[in-house]
Amino acid sequence: MDRVKSFGINGSVEVHEIEFIDRPNPVTPMRPSLTPVYNPSIPYAYPIYGGLKPGMMIYISGRPTSNPNKFSINLQQGAAEYPPPDVAFHFDPRFFNRSVVRNSRTNGVWATEETHISHFPFHPGVSFDLVIRVEANRYAVSINGQHFTDFRHRLKPLKKFDTLYIYNDVTISSIRFS
């Protein structure tokens, strides 16, 4: 609703003050395991009800665009773009140099990148299934059913990271949590 068109009070009531406050539309957190998302527009921010927890699984199915530079998946604090949110886990496949950067960001400053991989698992226009498993001490990432990499937790508490944010050169067909 963009504006209040009418306001009524019935009964024996004494009103001392009415105040209208212009507030931005809040994002209503959803219970992650209940509502999968299909074909979201990119960039896409998915609220994680209650934040990250050990045992949580994040399933992302998608495909890089036909001529990708890179795409990015963040587990971050909030959906705002500015000021830059803290990012507990940044997963960033880069096609131009066939690397997959993993990192974290605190107070707008990126930490040391982790880049070692045995192979580059993504191809332009080819579908993938990616799973991020949140464990007590790390994120474990699988791609197309095969373990790909681990990223040790750098930022805690996990529960403060309440948004999955996906952006850049990728099309997502589904996101779900369990």
* pLDDT tier for residue 22 given thresholds of 50, 70 and 90: very low
Task: Report percent pLDDT > 70 for the chain.
Answer: 81
- Residues forming beta bridges with residue 159, ordered by sequence position: none
What are phi and psi for residue 123, nearest 5 degrees?
-140, 140
pLDDT value at 11 more than 50: yes
The whole-model pTM stands at 0.81
* pLDDT tier for residue 103 given thresholds of 50, 70 and 90: very high
- What's the pLDDT tens digit per position in 48-85? 999 999 999 999 999 999 999 999 999 999 998 888 99
Q: What is the pLDDT of residue 119?
A: 97
Q: What is the pLDDT of residue 71?
A: 98
Q: What is the pLDDT of residue 178?
A: 92
Higher-pLDDT residue of 1, 128: 128
Q: Break the chain into its structural domains and give their ranges.
A: 37-177
CATH architecture of the domain with range 37-177: Sandwich (2.60)
Task: Report percent pLDDT > 90 for the chain.
Answer: 78
Give the burial class of 40: count Cβ atoms within 10 A of its Cβ; 0-12 exposed, 13-18 middle, 19 or more buried: middle
- What's the pLDDT tens digit per position in 130-158? 999 999 999 999 999 999 999 999 999 99
